[in-house]
Amino acid sequence: MTLSLQDCRALDAQDPLRDLRDQFKLPAGVIYLDGNSLGVLPRTTAARVAQAVTDEWGEGLIRSWNSAGWFDLPQRLGDKIAPLIGAAPGEVVATDSTSINLYKVLSAALSMAAVDAPTRRVLVSERSNFPTDLYVAEALCRERGLRLHLVEPGDITAALTPDVAVLMLTHVNYRTGAMHDMPSITAAAHAAGALAVWDLAHSAGAVPVDLHGAQADFAVGCGYKYLNGGPGAPAFVWAHPRHADRKDPDIWQPLAGWWGHAAPFAFTPDYRPAAGITRYLCGTQPILSMVALECG
């Protein structure tokens, strides 16, 4: 069957998602297929960011941390991202970059394995994973004296031997578009005694994701691709509640900072992690970028 441009336009006209297209601003005549790298500009973003600068910063000044809701933006945005990835309210925060969030969750997962199963000394990932994920994993393995085992996509379950601590994968491959079966691979990792860390950079906002359905352990994802948050937008992080509240200081995420403290304005000299995913925050967040991400 051949499909003409006219046929495509006719089908577009019947598309139930058609109205959503009008919420985004593209130069006339551009058909944009690069949302996997930089999502398009929502129509509301420019005015909302201008208002945050002029009113909230310019007029509200320091009061805006509370009166404009700046301080709670990581949790508020996390709650908006949660339904896109099969997470519950209160389980996600928007913060930092994908690379940095991956460092936090991978480090926490490796620390959990070191406490719970110290004979497990291997981190498995896919050779064709996005390079920053592999570099973060390489550096962590070097620091902890672990082995990074990179395999082809078809060899993942076979690589889940009894010495594996963590399996780290990207759900949808950035180059091929191939999508892993998250529930079955996570189940295989758990059956082998390993934790499963998922990068959702190319799935959140693009395809259905169900972290709870898959019983995943940790996840991170990107704000400037399919979430249309703008260049360098904050990323997000999720930990399954069975992990997020663990008390042992040996398994804290490594970037302990005051925004992740149980009582940030008590200004105590010692760290006490906040409940749940809030402990995965580190320090002060880029509020103007957060405001833009909320429009996306």
Ligand X SMILES: *Cc1c(COP(=O)(O)O)cnc(C)c1O
**Site residues, ligand X (CB under 6 A):** 97-99, 130, 132-133, 170, 174, 199, 201-202, 222
Whole-number minimum distance, CB 45 to ligand X, in Å?
A: 19
Q: Which is nearer to ligand X, 64 or 203 (CB)?
A: 203
Whole-number minimum distance, CB 225 to ligand X, in Å?
A: 6
Tell me how far apart the 2 most distant CA atoms of the chain are, in Å: 70
Q: Which is nearer to ligand X, 97 or 157 (CB)?
A: 97
Query: Among the residues of the chain, which ranges form H helices?
Result: 5-14, 18-21, 45-51, 64-67, 73-81, 98-116, 131-144, 182-191, 211-214, 241-244, 287-295
Whole-number minimum distance, CB 125 to ligand X, in Å?
A: 11
* Dist. CA 129–CA 153, nearest whole Å: 9
Whole-number minimum distance, CB 60 to ligand X, in Å?
A: 30
* Dist. CA 243–CA 240, nearest whole Å: 6
Q: Are 223 and 194 in contact (CB under 8 A)?
A: no
Q: Are 293 and 39 in contact (CB under 8 A)?
A: no
Q: Which is nearer to ligand X, 170 or 289 (CB)?
A: 170
Q: Which is nearer to ligand X, 64 or 289 (CB)?
A: 289
Whole-number minimum distance, CB 27 to ligand X, in Å?
A: 23
Q: Which is nearer to ligand X, 51 or 97 (CB)?
A: 97
